Amino acid sequence: MKNPLLKSFDTPHRSIPFSSIQPEHFIPALKENIKNALEEIDEVVLQTAHPTFKNTLEAMQNIGELIERNSSILFNLNSAVTSKAIQEVTQQASPLLTQFQNDVRLNQALFKRIRTIYENQEKENLTVEQQTLLEKEYKGFAKNGALLDENEKNILREIDTEKAQLGLTFGENVLADTQAFELHINDEKDLQGLPSQVKEMAAETAKSKDKKGWVFTLDYPSYVPLMTYSENRALRKKMSMAFDRRGFEDNDYNNTAIILRLIELRKKRAKLLGYNSHAAFVLEERMANSEENVKTFLEDLYQKAYPAAKVEWEDMAGFAAKNLDLAKMEKWDITYVSEKLKQAQLKLDEQELKPYFPLEKVQAGVFEIAGKLYGLRFEKNDSLEGYHPQVEVYEVFNRKGDFYALLYTDFFPRRGKRNGAWMTSYRGQKKGQRPHISIVCNFSKPTESTPSLLTFEEVTTLFHEFGHALHGMLANTNYSGLSGTNVYWDFVELPSQIMENWCYEKEALELFARHYQTDEVIPMEYIHKIKKAAHFQQGLQTLRQLGFGFLDLSYHDSKATDIQDIKKHETAILSRVKFLGEYPESCSSTAFSHIFQGGYSAGYYSYKWAEVLDADAFDLFLERGIFDAETSKSFEENILSKGGTEHPMTLYKRFRGKAPDPKALLVRSGLVK
């Protein structure tokens, strides 16, 4: 069997020949890749030359490239276009990769060389970037068990292997419950209140399943419109409860035991390494620095947001009782009532906006904005392969006309694709190598009569993920380990969240917000309403995000292993951010993929943390002009291109001229004046 994963790809830009790669290629390739990498590491370790940055740290940066590339392909496919075969291969690959990481991190001879360099670095005359890499590698080894004895190292290996597999299973369970549910409607009266495009999408979904009528699923573009517009309360309840039972059903996909075990393993691992909790272990390498600082940050925001949220809730409850005949709101009413109230107060109907946001024009708009800010040019290349027919591939060129990156875009939900939106990388950036970046979303599909028309929330989602992509595409460092999004986790959301600001500015909106039928630019009255809507129910929105932050931290602080019942624990933690009672059948923790499958454990607070940074940073653009060349150049040079080459606060101050002011976020949110 000829295995394409055993060597470099002989393709333009070393792009991935997806059609040549089969699931059965991955395990043999990874085993061979790992064997070769370990032999190369032995060459570094066994050399007789005295340890230096060049012959050890720099040499290590070029080892394992095929492992990184092939594992990225596998895990990205598992998220975006999975199948039973890919899931099985991923479960087999996970322990192999974990073992390899441990074989490297627990290699005492290798660590001895790195430690020697670390303790004598003043003799090397290192650049700032090299110093950062050395410190990161030294700490990486220390925090992954290099200072442990052999027995403790073996325990660590077992923990890491089990932890990795449990994270994969958690995500597979959420996906299985998501795809197992569908709401099949045969009576058109049950569609009352739903926009025509939503009904058309549901009819096409039914048709694709060989069913008559309309089918709604738990994929966001199907779930959210039904919860927002359906006047059938019973159907809203059915959808809501199904969504909130993912991973909590009494079936083979229940995640409660997995959560308890992950909490236990993370705490055990932290204690083994000398930390009081998983949060303490994680936060040592974050801008926030400590569990106490995160708690203070969240609590301060809570004290500002709760009074506003309480007033907003009372307004909504009063409106529901008076205008919608809902004497008592339930959780399946919230999105519906909120939309009705927004329409009444702001005279803004989301459906009136959608015709101005056809996906094709929004994407062209974000490309144009990137061109104005950073001189990038995007050219679609149909000769380059995607991993699915819906995927498009773009060559990205810089202002000099040089090739700078590949960008894959994947915008619509389908079977085998997890919910949500994310940016990922297939190939990192380093000296002499440009990156391959991917944006994956789940937007409203086109129908037979209309193109894909985005909600405004979907517009901001695209800008958000594109901000992450810019962080990857504009990376310009020497070492891949410090490139692009390889930054402190509570800094990684700054480039993504700051991009959302352009969605609210007239000068930017006029570039892409055009009616899909008439090409009319979005009217000024709508722009005013969009800006007003940015303040709508910000207290409640902030409270919701803080709730996730509190919940995340509670699963990873020093008391985490006291938790015995996931549902009871979640109820207790979230009680202070909710105005409704609890529902025994529902649990959000069991589908909280960010922290139990993704990389946000003890880090969910970083969304709000980065909002402070982005609000303060965008103030500079507002002062000077949202397309000001000097400001955008500074943001590119000091933030986007630098990755993790220096401490993020150093980079931020170099751009902004001062530390971030938390008041900027509160003012932007309308929580203070």
Q: Which residues are catalytic?
A: 465
Q: Tokens 């066994």 identify what position?
A: 46
Residues 6+ apart with CB under 8 A from 139: 285
Q: Is 399 helix (H, G, I), strand (E, B) or coil?
A: coil
Contact (CB, 8 A) for 331 and 583: yes
Do residues 382 and 10 touch, judged by C-beta distance below 8 A?
Answer: no
Assign 601 to helix, strand or coil: coil
Two structure tokens written together for 431: 């000296």
User: CA-to-CA distance for 169 and 451, rounded, in angstroms?
Assistant: 36
Contact between 393 and 384 (Cβ < 8 Å): yes
Distances (CA, A) of 8 to 4, 16, 74, 78, 424: 8, 10, 16, 22, 20
What residue type is 148 in one-letter code? L
Q: Is 61 exposed, middle or buried (0-12, 13-18, 19+ CB in 10 A)?
A: middle
Smallest CA-to-CA distance from 666 within 372, 305, 210, 306 is with: 305
Under 8 Å between Cβ of 421 and 469: no
DSSP 395: E
Residue 125, by phi and psi: left (phi above 0), alpha (psi -120 to 50) or beta? left
Instruction: Compute the distance between CA of residue 336 and CA of residue 182 in angstroms, rounded to an integer.
Output: 20
User: How are beta strands 377-380 and 214-216 bridged, if at all?
Assistant: unpaired
CA–CA separation, 605 and 596 (whole Å):
15
CA atoms within 13 A on the CB side of 188: 5
Q: Which of 344, 373, 433, 277 is nearest to 625 (CA)?
A: 373
| Tokens linked to 668 | 């932007």
Mutual angle of helices 220-229 and 233-244, in 10-degree steps: 140
Residue 479: name the closest of 126, 143, 125 by CA. Answer: 126
Tokens (6 digits) for 544: 């919701």
Q: Tell me the β-bridge partners of 380.
A: 394
Concatenate the DSSP letters of all residues of 493-556 into one string: THHHHHHGGGGG-HHHHHHH-B-TTT-PBPPHHHHHHHHHHTTTTHHHHHHHHHHHHHHHHHTT
Nearest CA to 601 out of 264, 131, 341, 278 is that of: 278
Distance, CA of 409 to chain centre: 15
* Amino acid identity at 605: Y
Which residues, other chains included, contact 334 with Cβ-Cβ below 8 Å and sequence gap of 6+?
Answer: 316
Secondary structure of residue 115 in the 3-state scheme: helix
To which residue do tokens 């089969």 refer? 22
